[in-house]
């Protein structure tokens, strides 16, 4: 599980930073920057050390990105004066577990990790959530940096400080609010992302347009070809806009106390149920989000909250981005049972984030089970 930094790839030094964008997340003494650009990874060491003054860094990554991104990051941290170790877990949702966290805690102890140490998450959403949770809980809290390498992590899970692990039958039920000291996003990392992973991230991108920004949704509709070709200029704009939108929400409701942050869960009540019902890993999170948004729009229409056109536009955009839009063959009774464990359930009643118009959603309670079942079919 541990590997040495002398295996770090050196070709990253040839990359050039291209006009990085900076999104500031304003949270008083826990404020931090999100740096977005192409080739930003070459500045990882300076970025991390300037924000933490750490002398020891532990990178947590998975086998899929270890050689390509974790070792170059380790090299940069070493050049900045850090002693660096790399801990590698298996890729996939199965690693977002108490067992994986326990193994990492024990490894941190073996490595002499202390309050002057830094945790660096290099990978997708699973790695960010797991590494952040380990950072939040080990020694009552260690600083950590996010270096997300998937689109889904870049636009969503790396920002906002929600970290955690899954239980066997419920997603994200054990966790914490633990803000990173900074997020470094390299758009160039998306060039090597498998097609399915890339498209899964696009579901969260579409989500931001539906819940907060109709103009951004229009932009996505008019740039489908560039998005499908992974155009860096378009992706930089997309990632920057998504990060700004999420930062706006987090700044106003960091710990989900006012209800505003719940809007980020659009489609996620259906999504989390589908992920659990199909067995974690069968559906990628973003794929389940896409299906969940289609179900949520269908539910909103049945409740008279929106007309047919919004749901059609959303479905057409998701389809153009090659995302799934139909519920897989799962037992609906089992799915409903899982959905009742959702964190938004109140007094035993399911609640859903539903649109009232493009760019605006609300948390809606007391939805009849028959209406939920009907939303699964279409």
Render pLDDT for 279-297 as a digit per residue (tens, 0 to 9): 877 899 999 999 999 999 9
Catalytic option among 66, 85, 204, 287: 204
Instruction: Verify whether residue 207 is a known catalytic residue.
Output: no
Q: Which residues contact 289 (CB under 8 A, 6 or more apart)?
A: 200, 203, 204, 207, 267, 268, 271
- Check residue 16 and give its pLDDT: 46
Render pLDDT for 294-339 as a digit per residue (tens, 0 to 9): 999 999 999 999 999 999 999 999 999 999 999 999 999 999 998 9
Count of positions (residues) in the chain? 378
Banded model confidence at residue 168, pLDDT cuts 50, 70, 90: confident
Evaluate if residue 11 carries a pLDDT over 90: no
Instruction: Verify whether residue 265 is a known catalytic residue.
Output: yes
Shortest CA distance to 124 belongs to which of 171, 185, 72, 175? 185
Render pLDDT for 114-131 as a digit per residue (tens, 0 to 9): 989 999 999 999 999 999
Evaluate if residue 12 carries a pLDDT over 50: no
Percentages (nearest 5) of helix, strand, coil residues in the chain: 50, 20, 30
Evaluate if residue 269 carries a pLDDT over 90: yes
Evaluate if residue 14 carries a pLDDT over 60: no
Instruction: Verify whether residue 252 is a known catalytic residue.
Output: no
Banded model confidence at residue 9, pLDDT cuts 50, 70, 90: very low
Q: What is the mean pLDDT of the chain?
A: 92
d(CA 120, CA 102): 17
Render pLDDT for 144-165 as a digit per residue (tens, 0 to 9): 999 999 999 999 999 999 999 9
Q: Which domains does the chain show, CATH number per domain?
A: 2-192 (3.40.50.1970), 196-230+258-375 (1.20.1090.10)
Instruction: Verify whether residue 272 is a known catalytic residue.
Output: yes
- Check residue 18 and give its pLDDT: 55
- Specify the DSSP element, H or E, that contains 288: helix 285-302
Least confident of 170-174, 221-225, 350-354: 170-174
Instruction: Look at residue 120 and give its three-state secondary structure.
Output: strand
Is residue 295 exposed (0-12), middle (13-18) or buried (19+ Cβ within 10 Å)? buried
Evaluate if residue 78 carries a pLDDT over 60: yes
Instruction: DSSP letter for 175, please.
Output: E
The model carries a pTM of 0.91
Token pair in block for residue 87: 């801990």
Catalytic option among 12, 197, 265, 344: 265
Q: Which residue has the tokens 């999170």?
A: 285
- Check residue 345 and give its pLDDT: 72
Provide the pairing of β-strand 360-364 with 352-357. Answer: antiparallel
d(CA 90, CA 246): 29
Catalytic option among 256, 332, 341, 362: 256
């Amino acid at each position: 599980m541990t590997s040495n930094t002398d295996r770090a790839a050196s070709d990253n030094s040839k990359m050039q930073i291209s006009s990085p964008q900076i999104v500031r997340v304003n949270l008083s003494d826990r404020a931090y920057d999100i740096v977005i650009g192409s080739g930003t990874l070459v500045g990882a060491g300076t970025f991390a050390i300037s924000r933490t003054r750490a002398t020891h860094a532990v990178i947590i990554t998975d086998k899929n990105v270890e050689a390509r991104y974790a070792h170059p990051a380790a090299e940069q941290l070493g050049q900045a004066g850090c002693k660096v170790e790399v801990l590698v877990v298996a890729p996939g949702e199965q690693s977002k577990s108490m067992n994986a966290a326990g193994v990492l805690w024990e490894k941190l102890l073996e490595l002499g990790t202390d309050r002057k140490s830094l945790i660096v998450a290099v990978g997708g959403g699973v790695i960010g959530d797991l590494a952040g949770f380990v950072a939040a809980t080990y020694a009552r809290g260690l600083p950590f940096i996010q270096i997300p390498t998937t689109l889904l992590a870049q636009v969503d899970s790396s920002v906002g400080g929600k970290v955690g692990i899954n239980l066997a039958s419920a997603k994200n039920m054990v966790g914490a609010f633990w803000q990173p000291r900074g997020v470094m996003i390299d758009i160039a990392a998306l060039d090597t992302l498998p097609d399915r992973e890339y498209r899964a991230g696009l579901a969260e991108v579409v989500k931001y347009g539906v819940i907060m920004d109709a103009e951004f949704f229009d932009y996505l509709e008019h740039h489908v070809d560039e998005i499908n070709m992974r155009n860096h200029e378009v992706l930089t704009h997309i990632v920057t806009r998504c990060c700004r939108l999420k930062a706006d929400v987090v700044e106003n409701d960091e710990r989900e106390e006012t209800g505003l942050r719940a809007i980020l869960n659009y489609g996620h009540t259906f999504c989390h149920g589908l992920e659990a019902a199909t067995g974690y890993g069968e559906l990628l999170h973003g794929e389940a989000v896409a299906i969940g948004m289609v179900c949520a729009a269908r539910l909103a229409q049945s409740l008279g909250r929106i007309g047919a056109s919004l749901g059609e536009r959303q479905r057409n955009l998701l389809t153009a981005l090659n995302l799934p839009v139909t519920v897989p063959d799962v037992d609906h009774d089992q799915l409903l049972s899982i959905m009742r464990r959702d964190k938004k359930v109140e007094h035993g009643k399911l609640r859903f984030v539903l649109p009232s118009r493009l760019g605006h959603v609300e948390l809606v309670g007391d939805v009849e089970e028959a209406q939920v079942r009907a939303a699964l079919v279409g």
